């Protein structure tokens, strides 16, 4: 599996370098657009999601109020049951082997040396706008009949209605491909790709 992940990371880097010249500069992520990496090796299939907080709970700032903390906790609980996010054909006989669900908080102001004099700021809330919360979820399955996975469905869009699109990178021993999945067509066709 490490070989497949290495290839996937190399593919993502190459794709990023190529597309960087073709697209305008944007933030690290785009609201309404999540990322999904799917890797298949042998009888193992892994799903790795990285989704902006705004798509899941409607905000990206660090949750401080009881209401915001409750929204984060509920979202993490929703991710704990992968069938809220995606489904696999039952005849693939896939059993969840491991999973990790987390909220990652990125602070673009990690280098506070340049801001030694915080008295210059009338309102520290402007720093909150520079925080980007991202939901991360990784699921690994062992499948008794992995070739039966001809399609992956995504109830994700009905579960999290702020979400608009998933950009999917798919890699297996058959090669790699990419998909864009949206709420009006919430599935990908993997027939012949595993």
The pLDDT tens digits of the residues spanning 96-121 come to 999 999 999 875 544 444 444 444 44
The residue with tokens 């595993």 is: 194
First to last CA, the chain: 14
- At 22-43, the pLDDT tens digits run 333 334 446 679 999 999 999 9
In a domain, residue 119? The reply is no
Give the residue numbers spanning the domain of 48: 28-106+129-189
Q: 128: Cβ–Cβ under 8 A, 6 or more apart, which residues?
A: 61, 62
Give how many domains the chain has, as a whole number.
Answer: 1
Residue 13 lies in a domain: no
- Tell me whether residue 118 is in a domain: no
CA pair distance 171, 54, nearest whole angstrom = 28
pTM: 0.76
Residue 159 has, within 13 A of its CA and on its CB side, a CA count of 20
Q: Are strands 151-153 and 131-143 parallel, antiparallel or unpaired?
A: unpaired
């Amino acid at each position: 599996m490490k070989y497949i992940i290495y290839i996937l990371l190399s593919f993502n880097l190459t794709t990023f370098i190529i597309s960087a010249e073709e697209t305008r500069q944007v933030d690290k992520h785009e609201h309404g657009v999540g990322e999904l990496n799917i890797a298949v090796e042998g009888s193992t299939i892994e799903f790795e999601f990285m989704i902006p907080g705004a798509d899941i709970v409607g905000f990206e700032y660090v949750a401080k109020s009881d209401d915001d903390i409750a929204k984060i906790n509920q979202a993490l609980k929703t991710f704990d049951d992968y069938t809220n996010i995606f489904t696999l054909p039952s005849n693939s006989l896939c059993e969840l082997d491991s999973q990790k669900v987390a909220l990652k908080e990125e602070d673009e102001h990690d280098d506070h040396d340049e801001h030694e004099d915080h008295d210059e700021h009338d309102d520290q809330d402007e720093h909150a706008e520079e925080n980007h919360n991202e939901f991360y979820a990784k699921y690994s399955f062992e499948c008794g009949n992995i070739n039966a996975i001809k399609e992956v469905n995504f109830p994700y869009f009905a579960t999290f209605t702020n979400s608009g699109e998933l950009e999917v990178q798919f890699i297996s021993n058959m090669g790699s491909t990419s998909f864009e999945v949206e709420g009006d067509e919430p599935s990908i066709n993997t027939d012949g790709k595993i």
